[in-house]
Amino acid sequence: MSSPENLFTRFKAAITSYSLPERFTYPFYYQPHPLCELAMQELQQHLATQINWQHNFGLEGDTDSANGKMFGVLVVKNSDGELGYLSAFSGKLADSNHLPGFVPPVFDMLAKDSFFLVGQQQLNQLTRQLKPLEANPEIAVLQQQLAAEQTTCDQKIALHRATMIEQRKVRKQQRIAGQNNLNDAEFELLKNELAQQSIQLKNELRDLTAHWQQQVEQATLKLQQLTDVIDDIKQQRKSLSVDLQQQLFASYQFLNSSGEQRNLAELFLNTAQLTPPAGAGECAAPKLLHYAFQHGLTPVALAEFWWGISPKSQIRQHKNIYGACLGKCQPILEHMLQGIQLDDNPLLTNPAAGKTIDIVYQDEQMVIINKPAEFLSVPGKNINDSIYVRMQQAFPDAKGPLIVHRLDMSTSGLMVIALTKQAHQNLQKQFINRTVEKRYVALLDGELNEQQGMIRLPLRVDLDDRPRQLVCYEYGRIAETRWQLISTDNKQSKVYFYPKTGRTHQLRVHAAHINGLNTAIVGDDLYGSKANRLHLHAESLTLDQPVTKQRLHFQLDADF
């Protein structure tokens, strides 16, 4: 096992003027402590100049095969009371779990002769066995034969049943005619004859069904002789994969400050996903804390940053600070940080406290308001104060859902409120039919080279890191935004956004994504960098009055 002194990095710069934080970093949303900022600067300098290993971060040259990485620093105090820091990367780096100066993984699944590699070899061997079996052309031939036999069977039986129905109608007519025209003896003979005809048709159906079922069964048996072998290997592979996964979960053992260990399976047992998502336990933060607890180092402050090109789906800016992901890290870090005093969770603080809502327009059917930035449209998981609650208080006699559309919590600007059920239905229909005209103004943290354009990037929620959104062409919902450059000043661009759709965080993602404008909105704490506020404002709104149908236009200039 590595000595803690090997990875305990002393600050190159003097730190005597730095004060220590009173409590440890709340890992999911934070402003990094100055000591962490210094540690990150030193680590980034190392990344930019080291020559011991090679990894294509996409910062220069080839970007097709490039991938950025999340790095973390943990400021710690050793047994002598000396301050330093530990460094870590998420996942693998330069195709390795181990690089000089970085803490090792909590569990090294790539260690030589590890059960994981052995299991992977067994899985690969089963996959290799499957490929020629699945590629056997005889399977396709037999599948076609079986389909043909089944089709013929269904057609023959259906044709015979149709004949039986028609014959039943004929016999019924003959029975009626006989009853009217024949004497009792003749009518009895007719009934017996008709009954025999019915029995004969039923027997023919029985024999026909048996014959074609036998044909189908024979074709099925021939096919199964080939597919049963494939299914058996697939089942072996599935069972091996499940066993390997459970063994892997049990091998990731995480320490906390009390020396308690819990594995991945235990930590995710009571979560919504029940089982750990892919990559759980491989992030920088759990690695850093585990190594610190393992070697008697006291955690002081934590920070993580992105280095390199952004992924194609997520939005990650080079050198930007990011909190730990909720889906993968929250259950792990909650255990690891037990007993350690943390900074307050800022997401539990009501950002709307003390703020007022200005009414721009009001009639009997609707109200147009100016929603302040950092103000929820509807009650959240932890905070009830919202536009909805304030409007309920302001208009206690209003009927219906009130909220017609939403603005993101951090977005300011014009928002319409319905005071009656009928008005709500009408206004909502206008939004659905896209007859409402909306224009947003935003300040971007970069210069644009074009004057206008259209962004089409489908969006879905990041299941591992809510409420962030991902660009996803497979499962994402269509999202379209037209934009127009207003001005450029001081390396920032002011733009108009005309959203055609209204997806969560649409404008923020379309601005920040590498395939969008590739420059985040100023103050975007999710997709860019924090500032005094998110510089995004719903400036203009045009719609029809729900009763009079008069076209109304409202404009409210942004304060930035």
| Residue range 13-36, pLDDT digits in tens | 999 999 999 999 999 999 999 999
Residues labelled as active-site residues: 408
* For the chain, percent of residues with pLDDT exceeding 70: 99
Average of per-residue pLDDT across 194-212: 95
Neighbours of 115 (CB within 10 A): 14
For the chain, the distance separating the N- and C-terminal CA atoms, rounded to the nearest angstrom, is 55
Nearest to 284 by CA among 84, 93, 147, 413: 93
Residue 272: its pLDDT value, please?
84
The Cβ-side half-sphere exposure at 508, using a 13 Å CA radius, reads 27
Q: How far apart are CA 264 and CA 280, in angstroms?
A: 8
Closest CA to 4 of 76, 105, 91, 98: 76
* Average pLDDT of the segment spanning 412-422: 97
Distances (CA, A) of 146 to 143, 156, 222, 378, 515: 5, 15, 9, 57, 49
Which among 296, 337, 303, 336 has a CA at the least distance from the CA of 321?
303
In the structure, what pLDDT confidence band is assigned to residue 5 with cuts at 50, 70 and 90? low
Q: What is the pLDDT of residue 488?
A: 96
More confident residue, 110 or 124: 124
Q: Say how many C-beta atoms besides its own lie within 10 A of residue 121's C-beta.
A: 10
Strands 412-418 and 366-371: antiparallel
66 neighbors 54 (Cβ within 8 angstroms): no
CA distance 95 to 54: 9
Residue 417: closest CA among 431, 401, 432: 401
| Alpha carbon distance 529, 317 (integer Å) | 9
Amino acid type, 392: Q
Question: Is residue 4 over pLDDT 60?
Answer: no
Taking the complete model, does pTM exceed 0.85, yes or no?
no
- Asked whether residue 419 carries a pLDDT value surpassing 70, the answer given is yes
pLDDT, tens only, 498-512: 999 999 999 999 999
Report the relative pairing of strands 412-418 and 480-489 from DSSP bridges.
unpaired
Percent pLDDT > 90 in the chain is 92
On average, the pLDDT of the chain sits at 94
Instruction: Give the integer Cα–Cα distance in Å for 387 and 407.
Output: 10
pLDDT of residue 163: 96
Residues 83 and 73: their CA atoms lie apart, in Å, by 13
CA distance 117 to 113: 6
SS3 461: strand
Measure the CA–CA gap between 432 and 364, rounded to whole angstroms. Answer: 22
Q: Tell me the average pLDDT across 360-374.
A: 97
The more confident residue out of 439 and 466 is 439
More confident residue, 278 or 451: 451
Q: How far apart are CA 540 and CA 136, in angstroms?
A: 63
Own/partner pairs for 213-217, CB < 8 Å, 24+ apart?
213/153, 215/149, 215/152, 215/153, 216/146, 216/149, 216/150, 216/153
515-520 own/partner pairs: CB under 8 Å, 24+ apart: 515/312, 515/457, 515/471, 516/455, 516/457, 517/444, 517/446, 517/448, 517/455, 517/483, 518/446, 519/444, 519/445, 519/446, 519/447, 519/448, 519/493, 520/315, 520/317, 520/444, 520/445, 520/446
Mean pLDDT, residues 164-182 taken together: 94
Residues 68-95: what's their mean pLDDT? Answer: 96
Give the residue among 148, 144, 150 at the shortest CA–CA distance from 212.
150
Alpha carbons within 13 angstroms on the beta-carbon side of residue 4 total 20
Per the DSSP assignment, residues forming a β-bridge with 322 are: 304
Instruction: Name residue, tokens 């067994």.
Output: 122
Identity of the amino acid at 130: L
pLDDT at 3: 52
195/307 Cα distance (integer angstroms): 87
Query: Are 398 and 391 within 8 A, CB to CB?
Result: yes
Tokens of 134: 């699945």
The Cβ of residue 89 has, within 10 Å, a number of other Cβ atoms equal to 26
How much is the pLDDT for 2?
42
* Residue type (1 letter), 49: T
Confidence class for position 41, pLDDT limits 50, 70, 90: very high
DSSP 403: B
User: Distance (Å, rounded) from C-alpha 430 to C-alpha 265?
Assistant: 49
